[in-house]
Structure 1
Amino acid sequence: MTSRSNWLPPLWVRPEPDEPLHGVLLRLCETNGLSQMSYLELAAGISLARVRAGEQTDVVARMLRCESASLEPHLWRRPTPNYRSWNGVLVSVVRDADFVHRRVCPGCLAEKAYHRFHWDVSAVASCLAHDRLLVGSCSCGKALSWRDGALGKCRHCESGSVHDVPPSAPHPDAAAFDAYLLGRLGAAPKVPNGVFDPLSIRDACDVAGRIGVLDILGYRPRWTEVRDADMPSAVVRGRGYAILTKDCLDETLERVWTEFQEKRHPRRSAEGDRPRIDHAYGWVVPWFRHHGGEVLVPQIAAAIVRHASSKFMLTAGTFPSVERSGETLNLSQARAVCGTSARTLRRLLIMEGFLPTQLKKGSPLRIERTVVDRVAADFAQALTQADLVATTGLSIWAVENLCKADAIPCWLKGGGVAFHQYRFRRSDVELWMRELLEGAPKVGTRPVGAVALCDYAAELGIPTTETIALLRRGELQLVSTAGEDRTFADTFVASMPSEAADIVSATTVSMTLGLAKPIVEELAEAGLIQRRQAPLHHRRETRNFFSRRSMDDLQRAVTAAAEPWEAGSDHRKRSKIRLTKAVRRYEDKVSWVAVLSAIKEGRLKAFVDPECSPTMAASLFLDDASNLQALASDAGEKGVARKLNIAEAAVYLGTNTGAVSAFRKAGLLGKADEHLGVDLDELQAFRDRYILSGEIVERTGTSWFTLTSTLASAGIHPAREWISGLKVSRRIYDRAAVEGFIQIPANAPGLQSSHRG
């Protein structure tokens, strides 16, 4: 019996241009004679909703006998739960897209029968090619849906067809807005529009609908929706689109203002009789403020300010970024235009010499409009530290170091949380990079052995500021793969210093050998690899560097001493054990220093398969893990110490990390400030001399209270009285005294003295 996931339709189709994947499924149903979409879902084990969200493409590709990658241009993707994306254009599922009801153009289906993706966008109401409204119902009167099994009819009738539905011509304004939306979606030639281009599809439809309903209904005190107008939504949006495109909003505002004057009831006081911007035009100004105001559509804000200024007095806080008549602004108006705080703007004006430094906060001042516009333009194109990462090609740490050292031109330095952030003029940063990198000739490809300038400081172990100093002195030979606009990422140092060729970091050694960094430190302490001092190394730098030559010699010596293994042998896992796994099993008895030394000297037989892993440790195997036991005694004789960290020492002693830390502070286990941990020999000596209260409880099966009271009555007190203030579970006793006093009965738990009676 064939499972659902393996079902293939007898006939299949090929996706057409602008056809979504769920439209392909509908055509697949019709081609194979399936009367409903649910039959295809049940047979293939797929979900129409998941396919519409960009999922299960591999199942659909198998049914269509093609690769999944070829279906990428036909997917409605789902970046968020409330949005769908077609070729990078976001469409709101709540307002702009309709994946429940199906609409078609009979003319397009007559030319070539397949579903177009823009029919799913509910804001698009017509077909430009055939100048007719899209059809959403069959000739039998039933609505089309995605439960149907054919493109041109519903699933409820036998002989119905959308081709029998009489055509209806769209309203000219609605057709113009449809043409704009189709251009934004990539389904028609793009129609540039300065008002709607900065907006998303959702905001464009909302703004057009709101202005259209304002023009149709006039003054209304309460918020109105597109559906409140007694006409199709497409016509309402088309009217709003036409008003804003032709810059005719002033006429609509004048009509709304006249209706407001006729309907308002003046209060007795003069203060209440004065009209205000928030209710002079009904609901439109509160709606506009709520959705962003002048940031959303500057043209609407300019029209409102232009019309309202001729009717009544506006405050400075009413759409402050809109230019008014006059050549100067106060500080509040200038701050709003620039989009920053008054404190930051005041500091900038003092830096540029427009305000005296002795000017106190709160002093009245006026600022020229040209100065405010220039500062606002600087803020609009200013870069943050995060923006500098993409602009310069440097890492965020390098950028921060350059900022602290004042090595990069900074326009506004950052302060605390309540103040402002670092800001950099883009033009200043680009000029700074151009002066540093102007001498680099352009090459076709990156030269062999060249190092990117953004990685040069890390390769040499020097500060990034030192790299900038070398560039200013012209001591670096540069090449670039970019044109005039170069960054530190596409500019390369053609030749590194000779002494830098033998220098690698601890991370490189760890990745090459396949060993952790603490083990690399152990290898360096044992002399298996050599430490190196990086050239131009900063005296405050604490990073560790090693000799590449010594690392290669160690890797070469170990692999040469190991016997080669036939690549691709399938019996490896059954007959051998990987060296890393074996050492992990005996890590408390033998170290990597002893293991690698034994392999080099021929005392430990190992096998190597370079194709198994690019790292040295993971490519080595042993016949038997027990071979490492013989190295434990040799390691002890040669004084090779195995160090454990605090957590490992706690597990070894059967206690917790707090107790181990207390023992170290008391001087019983190594040094308290030794970050590498405790030697295994010291732990063993500690266990031979002392016994923990937890071990006594476990061996005797008694309680903590019985343990402490019985030992105290026998005159056995915790060892090292000056640390006896530990918790009961962390106390230690002299092992010889306790074991000489305690005997464990065979049948009953409890403490009994071997010297009693």
Structure 2
Amino acid sequence: MNPAPEQGGAIFPIRPPHIPGEPACGYMLRLAEANGYDWRRSSFASRGIPMNDLAHGRTSALIPILGRETVERIERFTPRSIQSGKVLLHGETFQSAQILYGRQSFCVGCWADDVADDPDRTRGRRHVRCWWSVATLSACPIHCIRLNDRCHECGRTNNRGAGGPCSCHCGADLSRGPRATVAREAIAADAYVVGRLGGAPNCPDPVLDRLPLGDAIALMQRLGCCLTAGRDARVSRVRQEHRPAMMLAGFEAIRLGEEHVEDAIEALLEGPGKLDQLRIQLGQFYCWFAALPKGELQEWLAERIANVVRRNRISWQNWERHVSSPPVRDHISASQAKGFFDRGWDRTVAILDAAGLRTDIDVRCRPTIDRRHVETLAAKVGRLIDVEGLALTIGITPASVRKLSKAGILSPDPLARAASRHPKFDPVEIEDILARMAGRAPLLQTPPPQSSSVASAARSVGIVPLCRALLDGRIAACGRVEGLQGLQAIHIRTVGLTEFRRPADSPWVGLPEGRRALGMRLNGLIPVLASGHIRTIKDVRGHRLLCRADVDRFKARYVSTTELARARGTSAKAVLSELAAAGIHPAIELAPRGRVEVRLFERNDCKSA
């Protein structure tokens, strides 16, 4: 139960003034002492205001006794939990573990000054400073004295409510305890914290002032731990006597500026391990950073680590959890380039090699490749089309595409050779070639009179000589038909096309014509030509031509098993069996790869059979 206002007034008629910096539990100790009560024997705690509640900032039960205005003033200097799960003290936020509740550290010099200022103790003692509740503080920057939490006579901890304002449970005066002095430069971190809480002159710092005080303390501890104990050390495992030096090391690094913080983080990379594994290289510092909640400290540290990553070209895989964009925006790793190309690792290496971007590619997780070049390459690889797609685009057959490719008119893209094992073409380059063929031909709604499309004219003239004549300027396009694509849209005059045809009485024929005349496949004709049964030459363009007379004589004398099988409506195997049974053996047997692939018989012998 909470005591009624009049009951509180009857029990505590004397109200000493509240001293700035005094928490609720300290003021209640002075209030009980001023009214002649011994806190331990008083019935006040049993009336709804236990000391544990006051130590945790739950002071609503004091409003009927002291009034709301006084309680609100006391609350400012009392650690109390807020909705975010943190602790608010004097306008600063802390983590719950950074605040002492049950026991209290104190400065012997501060209490001795209070007694000296008020020897008769008529104005009350300023026995507790609000910053004494901060667990990480180790010394008083006002007197340069190490804080203590034990009685110098009985050795008990200074538990709140177990004694008076500056007296122990055993009755010893804590202001008369021994003093352990420390150098002022050794407590610079403590002076900064106390200054932020108003207990000492403020020591501004451009980096730490941007952060809540609890985050600033955590940063000093973690950074100092890495600098003094190594990257894999944990703050909780650092011995108590070494923690002040640890926090001071972190404070000194931060005080020198953001660049020195980055240098301290970069120093952690000097240990063994791959730079690509940032989590391992930074050790416990990275684990603590990755667990930080979203806020100013997390964003500020992410920027510092990102700068370190940028300078050292470290991989930032999974970095998206901490920053909105990669720290090295203009470069990516080879592993990330693999995702851009949507290809396997070997193909990715081949593409980068073909484009001249193979820079430190063996370290596949390091950002060493220009992002813009990779994006350009990925866009180009994505728009490449194969032979069938190109044939459909320009309106000819895939066989014609292969002829033009073999003749060097439509060249496969060099990047396509690395991106795929099949030939592919760049539509942009194809459009450029088609534009050169079209020249300055006007765009028309209907085809011009006495004209034919290049695709149609190629059936009688040949796709290769016709396209080469267009590119060389020997033929000029007379128009481009709107709505059509590729070679179907480009029209040429039909007059004068006969000169591009090979004369029928020419003594030489091409491979396709010779193959059709003999009724043989191309892979069967090649061994026949290699054996010298038919004379061949090469024209000015390097194409092989066959002697027409030799082809006619060869056709009249010899017949292939393919032609016999087609004429008799059976298989080649059955034909061979019938001829062998009749005692007829091949006149020509060719085995170019150690296996008989071409069998030719005398035509007259086969007729008699």
The answer, yes or no, to whether TM exceeds 0.5 is: no
The TM-score, its normalising length taken from structure 2, stands at 0.45
RCO higher in structure (CA 8 A, sep ≥6): 2
The TM-score, its normalising length taken from structure 1, stands at 0.37
